[in-house]
Structure formats: structure tokens, C-alpha cells
Amino acid sequence: MITAIREVRRAKGMTLEEVGRACVPPTTAQTVGRLETGTRTVSVGWLNRIADALGVASADLVKLPDRADLPVAALLDATGAHAPRRAAGCMRAGSVEQR
């Protein structure tokens, strides 16, 4: 999961240590740093703890990829699901042909 933990923490002017201490239960600056860099997996529980410590909604810490970068596995219409119409590679959401 790509997060904005570092960006939000810096915008709030907090150090890794301050965020760690503000977590309930408290955690270490090292753990917060690992969550920021993706060295440690960010679970929903961690996301909620960090968001509470930063005083933001957990949704504010999640970065979603641009829709154009999402792979399209199937197209849905009134007749059902259909494979994308590109011979080479997987289509992207931004290039879906209309039926």
C-alpha cells in the first residue's frame, strides 16, 4: 500500500519520535519510519493508529494510483463480461474502448 504518512507527518511538523509517542499504544520512531518507507507493511490497524496520532482521517494517508494506471481485466456491459480488445498487453482504464 502506498501511503502519505511521511508527507502528512512533515506537514504537521512532527518528528518520527513524536508520532510514535502519540500512537496508542506508543511505538518507536524506527517503526514509524519503516511504515513511511514501506519497509514494514501498513495494515489497517497501523493506518488507524498513525492517523489518530497525526490527527487526520486514515483515508488521508492512503494514496490511490491514477485510474489510467489500473489494469483492466474485463469490460462489463448489458451482455456480460468481455476481455479487453488489445492484442499485446493489458489495457489500462484510461484507454478502454466503448462498445
State residue 69's pLDDT score.
62
Regarding predicted confidence, which is higher, 3 or 93?
Answer: 3
State residue 2's pLDDT score.
82
Q: Are 99 and 77 in contact (CB under 8 A)?
A: yes
State residue 99's pLDDT score.
44
What mean pLDDT value characterizes the chain?
A: 85
Q: Which domains does the chain have, with CATH numbers?
A: 5-61 (1.10.260.40), 65-99 (no CATH)
- pTM for the model stands at 0.65
Q: Is the pLDDT of residue 93 over 60?
A: no
Neighbouring residues of 44: CB distance < 8 A, sequence distance ≥ 6: 58
How many other CB atoms sit within 10 Å of the CB of residue 53? Answer: 22
The Cα 20–Cα 28 span in angstroms is 5
The Cα 58–Cα 71 span in angstroms is 25
Instruction: Give the residue among 56, 3, 48 at the shortest CA–CA distance from 27.
Output: 48
